[in-house]
Amino acid sequence: MPTIGVLALQGDVREHLRALRSCGAATRVVRRPEELEGIDGLVLPGGESTTMWRLARSFDVLEPLRKRISAGLPAYGSCAGMIMLADRIADGAAGQETVGGIDMLVRRNAFGRQVDSFESDVRLAGIGTAPYHAVFIRAPWVEAVGAGVEVLGRTATGRSAGRIVAVRQGNLMATAFHPELTGDHRVHGYFVDLVRRALDQPSGEQED
């Protein structure tokens, strides 16, 4: 049973913990650097990315996060967590930093303000054949990805059809939407399986 932490600085922490447990993972709340020890994977939840960055600095956890993820710790980011895992941000706040790890450019609040939140079906590569009913709340989108990034999902309808909203690079994955707010745990199950496969890999290697 892998142990997966949820970064508990802000956002839907309890919902992610519940979804991970339903997929067969042990869980841990992570706020401090020492709480990163002994985990096999990490979820960075939604929230407000600038607040999350500032809190990560205040709790002295930003640099330890970068080191663990750079060393191969599997991580999944939803909404603001997607921004935190991006190497580059468009429309970021002055001086805004990320944990990084995924070779992508993410635009903050790309789908609009809170009142523009919406739900839409998204087809996700490798995560079942049925569409995933996704919840977007002041969501980002991915404007560009590097050669090593796999696009898992795009929006299918509306003015923003074709926008990238789910990606994976090695042991890292991210979605612009909030799977923890639905009863469909396929995204969390995909991440738990990714963590399990990473545990089976020789040290220093990453899952393709």
Residues designated catalytic: 79, 178, 180
Which two structure tokens, joined as six digits, stand for 201?
């890999």
Provide the angle, in degrees to the nearest 10, between the axes of the packed helices 13-22 and 186-200: 70
> Which residues fall within 8 angstroms of residue 199, CB to CB, at 6 or more apart?
2, 40
Provide the angle, in degrees to the nearest 10, between the axes of the packed helices 62-70 and 49-58: 100
User: For residue 142, what are the β-bridge partners?
Assistant: 106, 164
Separation CA 82–CA 6 (nearest Å): 14
